[in-house]
Every structure is written in structure tokens, then in C-alpha cells.
Chains A and B, each alone.
Chain A
Amino acid sequence: MRWLLLKDLQLLRRSPLVSGLLVVYPIVLAVLIGLAISRGPEKPRVAFLNQIPTGTGLSLGNGAFSQDEARRQLCAKIECVDVSSRAEVEQKVKDGDVLGGLILPPDFISKLQAELSTNGTEPATVDVIVNNDDPLKAQLVDDRISSLLTQANLLISEKISGVAGNYEQILANGGEFTIPFLNQTVHILGLQRSEQILNSVAPTLPPAQRSQVTQVSDFARLARQNLALANDLLAAVRQPIAVDKQVIGGSVPPLDTFAVAVAASITLLFVTVLLVSGSLALEREENTFTRLTRGLVSRTGLLVEKAVLGTGAALAVTLLMLAAITPFESISWGRIYLIIPAILLAGAASSGLGLAIGAAAREVRASALLAFALALPVAFISLVPSGTVGKTLLDVIHVIAGAFPFRATVDALSGALSASGPALGLPLLHLALLTVAYLVLARLALRRFA
């Protein structure tokens, strides 16, 4: 077996394209993933055209909402690319420089102001320019715009609630009040003070009038008490729904660790399956299979040799990838005693899959095609999260994904890379069972080789 292994390594050395791919693929993927993770989720770039006249702000009773404040809050959530005309907005969206365009028309504030004064005839609108060349991008823009509008509406409602709360305080307790637009300050007596005055004059009045004054005094007291309740109601309107998140199952690794585990699993799966299936199919293509298995090595021995080759390649390639990703993302190398067994078992299971494919295919090209045709969709469906598809479909996906080593590899690597990841036992057992099952399948398929 040693000589066969050396021969396979020699053949790899003679195939610069394959060996180059084995080295370059994990490094390139690692650098791309590393850059993506280390830069974090970027704010979407949005072309921003503000046509509202300078100095115009939203007036809300005693409060106000300036353009500068609105812009600051908006551009904290998106990357505002200032533009000077609608045509420029459209060009930037068309060229893909920005995800979308946002235009605040000149009459936006006046319409909003009229709406808030309840005498508006048409709603204040903002213009959104998007390029629907890509359904995913269109969905992303829709989500972002909806989110921004919800936040803007919430912000305005908070301001209104604040102003209303202030009015209620003045009405209940009295105080100074500046009349909007007139900029005139007046003193408001307030319900509390009114009640006190009425209560103080009531004993001096004749019984018939006293009774009437007492009724007014009682009304002032009741109104003041109910206005206190209105304050709580306004607070509830500001944030009617509170979130109390409780995790009831699943150990979730940090998102960055999960991304590293997914990237490493994809690399490991593709490299190992392609290498092993190709290597076994090559024995048939070169007509050496019959020669080897005619007493020089048993068929099972040949399969084990290829599995050792694949597992070794998986270890080397995955460690290379993790090393390449280290400058961007902190890898817990202290957990290497868990990382290596996870890679070895994942490599063995992927090698097993490669052997089954290589034994079923009769030539290298067919095996490569089969490897891609199987590995790519399996990797894709294995990452479908629960809750995004129907239960029956999810069950089917789980069964299919469970028959392949990708999901178990992701879980094993997530668990090995992070203490907060899933427990390692189950994925490792899953991988071990898959290895045995695939070896049996490959051994049966080899009967067709002779």
C-alpha cells in the first residue's frame, strides 16, 4: 500500500493543475472568506438626493426635527452617496455603484407637516430608485427600504409622543407653553391648580353654587388622574412590542466561526471527493486496476489506500485553509486536539463518498462530473435553515443531507473550532457511519470494474 500511496503522490506531482488547485483553492477561498468576515456586514450604499430647501425642518409643537438630524440618523444606517440630480441617482443605480437611490422631494417636509396637522391632502412620499436586475438584490433593497421607513415612522411617532406627553403634563400640572408658528409663550393654569382654586372658593359659596363648583372640581381631579394614565399609554405607543428572546435548543457557534466551518467544509468536501474519485477512476482508465488486483493488492486494500490518500489531502488542505484564514479571523488553535479528529473523520467520510463515485464511474471525467453534480447541491441544501421551508420538505432535505457528509462536517468543524458550537460526539459518529457505509458501497460497485 505504501508504494501505491507514493505512486499517487507522484502522479499528483506530475499534474500541476490538480496539485495547484489543491493548494490555491483553499488559500483563495480562505482569503475571500476572511476578508468578508473581517470587514463585517457593510452598510448598503444608497445614492441620496435631498431636494428639501435648506433650513426647512419638521416642527412638532414645542419639538422640532431638523434636516441635519434626519440626515445624520439616516446615514448612520446606510452609506449615503450624495448626488446632485435625479439623473445621477438613476445612472449610479443602473451602473451598480449603489444598491438603490433615495430622493427626498422639495415638498416632503411641507406635506409631512400638513399631514401631522391633520389637514394634509396627500401623503408625504420619498422616491426610491432600484434596479431589479437580480431578484435577490431586489429583495434586499425592498427589505432595507421597508426597514428604513419603519424606523423613520417610529422616530416621528416617538417625537409626537414626546410632544403629546409634554402637552399632557402642561394640561395636568400647568406651566409655560410656546404656541407653534406664533412663537408666543403663554401661561397655562392646569387642572391641578384649577382644582385647588375651586376647592378653596367652594366653602365661601352658597350651597347651590357650591354643589356646582364641587362638580367642576371633581371633573378637574378625574381628568388629571386619567391624563396620568394617558402618559403610560403614550409610552406604550412608542414601543408597543418588547422582545424577550429565549433560546430553547441548539448550540450556536459565533457567526464568524460558522462561516469558517462552512468554507472549510466546502473545501474539504470538494477537494477530497474529486481527488479520491478521480484517483480510483484513473486506475480503470489506465487499465491498471486488473493488474493491481490480480494478487498485488486486494480490492479492499486499494480502497483503503485511496481513503488514506483522501484523508491525508483533506487534513493538509483544511489546515492550510485555516492557517490562511488566521490573519483575518482568530482560530482557536488551542483546540487543535479537536480540530484534527474532526478533519480526519470528515476527510474519511468525504473519501468514502469519492470512492463510491469513483467505483461507479468508469472514467476520470465521468467521476469528476458526478462528484460536482452530487457535492454542489448537497452542500447547498444542507445549509437550508429550519423554518424557511415546509416541514415535509425540510424532513426530506434532512434525510438527503444526512446521507452525505457535508452537514456533519460543518457541525463537527463548528464544534471543534468553538466551545459554543454543537457537541462533537454526534457529528463524529455520523461521519464514522458514513465512512463505513460508503466503503461498503464502493466495494460492491468495484465488482463492475473487473
Chain B
Amino acid sequence: MSEQPPLARRRPIDPVLEVEGLSKSFGERPALREVSLEVNRGELLALLGPNGAGKTTLLSILAGITRADSGRIDRANGEVGWVPQQAGLYRRLTVEENLSLFSRMEGVQDVEATIERMLAQTGLAERRHDQVSSLSGGNQQRINIAIGLLGDPSVLLLDEPSSGLDPSQRVRLWEFVAGLSQAGTTVIYSTHQIDEASHYGDRLVVLADGETIFDGGFDEMRRAAGPRPQGTAADPENDFVRFLHKRGH
């Protein structure tokens, strides 16, 4: 997978989201420390980091679910779409009923047309009358993302979207996400899969202990990690672990 060319490329600079000095603590434990970020239109940004690094907290704050203790967030016009890690769907309702319910709650003007568009985009038009519980994890995740897109957001936030999916479902998911990015939607996602981040991300932001320790492309991070030890295979995961060790994590 790492030998394939990236699906998305860097976009022209057109910031849709600017974050400056974002901090958040849970009790005595700091979850984010002075995190700053600027994301451009159509950019695919991967948030990486070990467990407890602050990835989900950052996404929750950007989504408006959690309030930051300090810092500033500037958004360009347009909604921020949110896709939780576990699909937030009514499993006893059909695909169409879920899309219809959330469209109406989002206040979408033309509900029917929006449903058709989402069904076409997710490739699930033929399964529109199936209950969500009967869909595979990958297809449920597609509907999960489609619901995040109902408000036609300029920024889409995905929290570990590929967790629990098998390899072929993951490939289909990333093709779908890359398609969104190419259509101009900014996508910020958290992941533990370094190969996915290196392959499908335009840019990587690495968090550790609530701090940004890297912001740039994968090749840049690999260079920062230093030379591979002799006898070690070319592997993005090894490169990432080496990078973290070098930064003391």
C-alpha cells in the first residue's frame, strides 16, 4: 500500500480553519497545550500520535462538542461536519430513514435531493431500504460520514474513521474520503494507522502529551526521524516510531 502514489495532493493556500493557542485540561491532567493549526480548503490533514496524545480532544473542540479552556478558533464560512469514531446511527432505521431524519434536523432545504445525492456519493442507493444493522462496518461508516456531510460542511472532522474495518473496506473508505477532499471539502482525521496517514494525508500533524511535535509532510517527518538502522525494512510505522523516540516520546 505504501508503494502507491497518494490520492490527494496539496491544495493552494486558502485557509478555512485557523486554531491558535488551544489548551484544555481534564482536572489536573492537561490534554492539549497551546496547539496551533491552519488548515486549507480541500486539504486532507491526518492527526497522529500515541494514545492520550490529545487527538480526540482536539477534534471534539473543533467540532464544538467540548469547550477549550483557552485559545482561539477561526472558521471560514460553512459548517463543520463531525463524524464520531463509532457510527452515530439508528441501527433499526433504514439507510434512507437515517439520512432523512438527520437532513430534516439539519434543516436541509431539499431533503429528497440531498438523500439521493448522499446515496449516490456513498454508493449505497441499492441498499437504501435496508436497516443499518444489516450493513457491514464499512458501509455503516460511509453512512456515518454521509450524515456528517449533510450540512454541506466546508470542514469534515473524522475521528479514527477506519478503526474496526477490514483492509478492503478501509481502501474503499479512503477513496471515498479522498473524493470529498478533491471536491473541495477539508478533511481532518485522527488515526493510528501511519501507513494510511502517509498514503492518504496531504499533511501530518503529530501530537504527543497534548503538544504539536510535528506539522508537515510524511517525507519531511521521515527525514526528521533520521536514517533507518541497517537491516530494517522501509516501513512508515518504523519511521514514525523512530521519529517519536527521537523526540523523546
Complex Cα–Cα for A4 and B66 (A): 24
* Among B88, B101, B104, B105, contact of A287 (Cβ-Cβ < 8 Å): B88
In the assembled complex, A292 has its CB within 8 A of some CB on chain B:
yes
Q: Are B92 and A288 in contact (CB under 8 A)?
A: no
Size band of the A side of the interface? 10 to 19
* Among A195-203, A294-302, A342-350, A389-397, the stretch in contact with B: A294-302
In the assembled complex, A84 has its CB within 8 A of some CB on chain B:
no
Q: Are A296 and B93 in contact (CB under 8 A)?
A: no
Q: B residues bordering A, Cβ < 8 Å?
A: 63-66, 82, 84, 86-93, 97, 101-102, 104-106, 131, 147
Which residues of B are found within 8 Å of A292, using beta-carbon distances? 105
Known: A3-B104, A297-B105. A287 touches B86 (CB 8 A): yes
Which residues of B are found within 8 Å of A7, using beta-carbon distances? 90, 93, 97, 101
Q: Are A286 and B105 in contact (CB under 8 A)?
A: no
A 18-30 binary contact with B (CB < 8 Å = 1; else 0)? 0000000000000
In the assembled complex, A72 has its CB within 8 A of some CB on chain B:
no
Q: Are B106 and A296 in contact (CB under 8 A)?
A: yes
* Among A3, A15, A450, contact of B66 (Cβ-Cβ < 8 Å): A450
Which residues of A are found within 8 Å of B88, using beta-carbon distances? 286-288, 290-291
* Among A3, A15, A287, A295, contact of B64 (Cβ-Cβ < 8 Å): A295
Q: A residues bordering B, Cβ < 8 Å?
A: 3-4, 7, 10-11, 14-15, 286-288, 290-292, 294-297, 450
User: How distant is A132 from chain B, measured CB to nearest CB, in Å?
Assistant: 51
- Taking A11-B93, A287-B89, A291-B82 as given, write out 12 further A-B residue pairs in contact, using a Cβ cutoff of 8 Å, ordered by the A residue number: A4-B105, A14-B92, A14-B93, A15-B92, A286-B88, A288-B88, A288-B89, A290-B84, A290-B88, A291-B84, A295-B64, A296-B105
* Among A3, A10, A290, A297, contact of B65 (Cβ-Cβ < 8 Å): A290
Complex Cα–Cα for A354 and B97 (A): 26
Query: Which among B63, B66, B86, B88 has the highest number of chain A CB atoms within 10 Å?
Result: B88
Complex Cα–Cα for A74 and B91 (A): 66
Q: Are A286 and B82 in contact (CB under 8 A)?
A: no
In the assembled complex, 18 residue pairs joining A and B whose CB atoms fall closer than 8 Å, in A order, are: A3-B104, A4-B105, A7-B90, A7-B93, A14-B92, A15-B92, A286-B88, A286-B89, A286-B91, A287-B84, A287-B88, A288-B90, A290-B82, A290-B88, A291-B84, A291-B102, A296-B105, A450-B65
User: How distant is B36 from chain A, measured CB to nearest CB, in Å?
Assistant: 24
A288, closest chain B residue (CB): B88
Which residues of A are found within 8 Å of B64, using beta-carbon distances? 294-295
Which residues of B are found within 8 Å of A287, using beta-carbon distances? 84, 86-89
A293, closest chain B residue (CB): B65
Which residues of B are found within 8 Å of A290, using beta-carbon distances? 65, 82, 84, 88
A291, closest chain B residue (CB): B88
Q: Are A294 and B65 in contact (CB under 8 A)?
A: yes
B90, closest chain A residue (CB): A286
User: How distant is A211 from chain B, measured CB to nearest CB, in Å?
Assistant: 114
B87, closest chain A residue (CB): A287
Complex Cα–Cα for A292 and B106 (A): 10
